[in-house]
Amino acid sequence: MGTVLPSGLALALALALALPSLALENGLARTPPMGWMSWERFRCDVDCQADPRNCISEQLFMEMADRLAEDGWRELGYEYVNIDDCWSAKQRDAAGQLAPDPKRFPSGIKALADYVHARGLKLGIYADLGVFTCGGYPGTMLEHVKQDAQTFAAWGVDMLKLDGCYSSAEEQAKGYPEMARALNATGRPIVYSCSWPAYQGGLPPKVNYTILAEICNLWRNYDDIQDSWDSVLSIVDWFFTNQDVLQPAAGPGHWNDPDMLIIGNFGLSYEQSRSQMALWTVMAAPLLMSTDLRTISPSAKEILQNRLMIQINQDPLGIQGRRIVKEKSHIEVFLRPLSQAASALVFFSRRTDMPFRYTTSLAKLHFPEDAVYEVQDVYVGKIVGALKTADNFTVVINPSGVVVWYLRPVALPLQPWHVVRQQAPGKGFHPALL
Ligand SMILES: *[C@@H]1O[C@H](CO)[C@@H](O)[C@H](O)[C@H]1NC(C)=O
Ligand SMILES: *[C@@H]1O[C@H](CO)[C@@H](O)[C@H](O)[C@H]1NC(C)=O
Ligand SMILES: *[C@@H]1O[C@H](CO)[C@@H](O)[C@H](O)[C@H]1NC(C)=O
C-alpha cells in the first residue's frame, strides 16, 4: 500500500475545517458544472461547405441543445451548451466588438442564447486572453476585457471559458482577475472558467490556488484532453500525483477541471469509458461531454447518464477525492468523502492481462473501526450487501476498468462530530437522500 489517509469521515471533517475562507462568491457552480462542449470532438472544423453537419456553426449548437433537452440529459443536470474556439469572425467589428462568423452564425449569439434558454439550458462561450485565440481568431487583449465581458452579458451568455494562448505570464496575472471583476460588473451571473494555471504549469509557486479560487469558478490545470486512453491516463497521473496541492483547492464554487469527457468518441473502450467517468467523478470534475449526442451509442449514453454516479459527482459537500492506495499489482483505490457520512470508492486496474481479483477490507482502506456500510455497485446498480469494516471482500476489476462503490453507513461507532443515522438496509434503500 502507498499513501495513507485518514478515514473518509475524518478526511471530510479535516477538509471541511480547512476550506479557504475566501472564494469566488458569485453563487454559481456550487456543484461541478455539467453540460456539453464542442472542442474535443468538433475542434476548429469551420468548413461548413465540406462538412455541414460537424462544422462549428449555430446549427451544431442548436442540435446539441435539442439533444440535451430531449434525450434525458437536462434532467440529470447536463445544462450548459458551451461554444469553444473558432466561433468568431476573423476581425472585430467596426465598434471593436467581438462578433460571430456571419456565415456560420447568421442569427448571432444572442439568438442562439435565446434558443438554448428556451430549452431550459444555458449557453457558454469561449475567449482568449491574448493577441489571438489558440485557433487564430481575435483575442481579448487587456484593453478589451471590459468590453468583451459586456458583450457576452448582453448576448445572454451564462459561462465563459477564458483561454490563454498568445499572452505572457504578466498579462495573465493581470487579465484573469480583471475579467473576474469585469464579469461581476456586468451584473449577469456568468460562470468563469480560467485556463490560467494550465499555462503556468499547474503547480505552486507559479500557480496560487488561493487566488484562483477567489476569482474563478473552475480552472483548467493541465493539458488538453485528446481522444485516447493515453491522454486520459496522463491526466489521471498528473492530477493524482499532485493531489496534495490540487485536492484542497476544490470546493463549492471553485473546481479543478481535468478537461472534457471523451466518452462516446473513438479513443476509449467500454471499460476505459467507465473509468473516465468514475475517475472524473472522484475528482469532483466538471462533467462537460464532448461527443456527438446525435449519434452516441446506447452504452456510452448509459455511462454518462448513470444517476448514482452523477449524484456522487454532484455531492453538495464538494470535497474532491484522492488516490488512497497504489498497489504493486497495478490496482489503485480512490476515495471521495460524501455528505451524510457516505463515501465513494473506485477500484481501478491498470493491468493488461485479465480481470483481477482484488481482496481488501474497509479497515485496510482506513474506514472507522466497528462501522457497517451498505454497499451499492454504481455501475451494476445492485446493493452488494452490508459490510463491516473488518470484513475482507474481493472485487473483480477488468483491465483498464473500474469497480465503483457507493457506501452508506448503516451503523457507525459514536464519534463526536456527527449524528449517526441508522437505516435498515434492504429493498427500500434510496441512495439519493442528499
Ligand atoms: C459580484 O460580487 C459580489 C461580491 O462578491 C457578489 O455578491 C455578487 O453576487 C457578484 N455578482 C455577480 C453578478 O457575479
Ligand atoms: C497566494 O495568494 C494569497 C492571497 O493573495 C497569499 O496570501 C498567499 O501567500 C499566496 N500563496 C503563496 C504560496 O504565494
Ligand atoms: C481478513 O484477511 C486477513 C488476512 O489477509 C485475516 O488475517 C483476517 O482474519 C481476515 N478477516 C476476517 C474478518 O475474516
Per DSSP, the residues of 259-275 read --B-TTSSS--HHHHHH
The C-alpha cell that represents 145 in the structure block: 476585457
Q: Which of 326, 334, 350 is nearest to 271 (CA)?
A: 350
- Check pocket membership of 204 for ligand 2, CB cut-off 6 A: yes
Mean pLDDT of 194-202: 98
Q: How remote is the CA of residue 379 from the centroid of ligand 3, in Å? A: 27
Q: List, in sequence order, every beta strand (DSSP E) within 150-292.
A: 159-163, 191-194, 218-220, 255-257, 287-289
- Check pocket membership of 392 for ligand 3, CB cut-off 6 A: yes
Looking at residue 290, what is its pLDDT? Answer: 99
Looking at residue 310, what is its pLDDT? Answer: 99
Tell me which CATH homologous superfamily contains domain 322-411: Golgi alpha-mannosidase II (2.60.40.1180)
Average confidence score pLDDT of the chain: 92
- Check pocket membership of 390 for ligand 3, CB cut-off 6 A: yes
User: Residues with Cβ < 8 Å from 338, sequence gap 6 or more?
Assistant: 12, 312, 315, 317, 319, 344
Tell me whether residue 259 is one of the annotated catalytic residues. no
Asked whether residue 25 carries a pLDDT value surpassing 90, the answer given is: no
- Check pocket membership of 388 for ligand 3, CB cut-off 6 A: no
Whether the CB-CB separation of 253 and 384 falls below 8 Å is answered with: no
Ligand nearest to the CA of 207: 2
Distances (CA, A) of 143 to 84, 273, 344: 22, 42, 46
Whether the CB-CB separation of 306 and 379 falls below 8 Å is answered with: yes
Q: How remote is the CA of residue 204 from the centroid of ligand 2, in Å? A: 10
Rounded to whole angstroms, the Cα distance separating 431 from 95 reads 54
More confidently predicted of 419 and 50? 50
140: helix, strand or coil = coil
- Check pocket membership of 72 for ligand 2, CB cut-off 6 A: no
Ligand nearest to the CA of 393: 3
- Check pocket membership of 107 for ligand 3, CB cut-off 6 A: no
pTM: 0.92
Q: Which of 11, 16, 10, 14 is nearest to 251 (CA)?
A: 16
Mean pLDDT of 346-370: 96
Q: Which of 260, 265, 319, 342 is nearest to 84 (CA)?
A: 260
Among 1, 327, 360, 361, name the best residue to mutate to test ligand 3's pocket (greatest count of ligand atoms within 8 A of Cβ): 361
Length of the chain: 434
Distances (CA, A) of 422 to 395, 419, 432: 26, 10, 16
Tell me whether residue 224 is one of the annotated catalytic residues. yes
Residue 398 has a CB neighbour count (10 Å cut-off) of: 18
Atom of ligand 3 at shortest distance to CA of 359?
Answer: 5
Q: Summarize pLDDT for 284-295 with one digit per residue, the tens.
A: 999 999 999 999
Asked whether residue 420 carries a pLDDT value surpassing 50, the answer given is: no
Delimit the domains of the chain by residue range.
9-313, 322-411
Q: How remote is the CA of residue 24 from the centroid of ligand 1, in Å? A: 8
Distances (CA, A) of 238 to 203, 233, 244, 246, 247: 11, 8, 11, 10, 12
Atom of ligand 2 at shortest distance to CA of 22?
Answer: 4
* Of 8-22, 105-119, 199-213, the least confident: 8-22
Ligand 1: which residue has its CA nearest to atom 13? 187
- Check pocket membership of 394 for ligand 3, CB cut-off 6 A: no
Q: Summarize pLDDT for 360-374 with one digit per residue, the tens.
A: 999 999 999 989 999
Ligand nearest to the CA of 211: 2
How would residue 24 be classed by pLDDT, with cut points 50, 70 and 90? confident
Asked whether residue 208 carries a pLDDT value surpassing 80, the answer given is: yes
Tell me which CATH homologous superfamily contains domain 9-313: Aldolase class I (3.20.20.70)
Asked whether residue 12 carries a pLDDT value surpassing 90, the answer given is: no
Residue for cell digits 509557486? 205
Establish how many alpha carbons lie within 13 A of residue 325's alpha carbon, considering only the half-sphere containing its beta carbon: 24
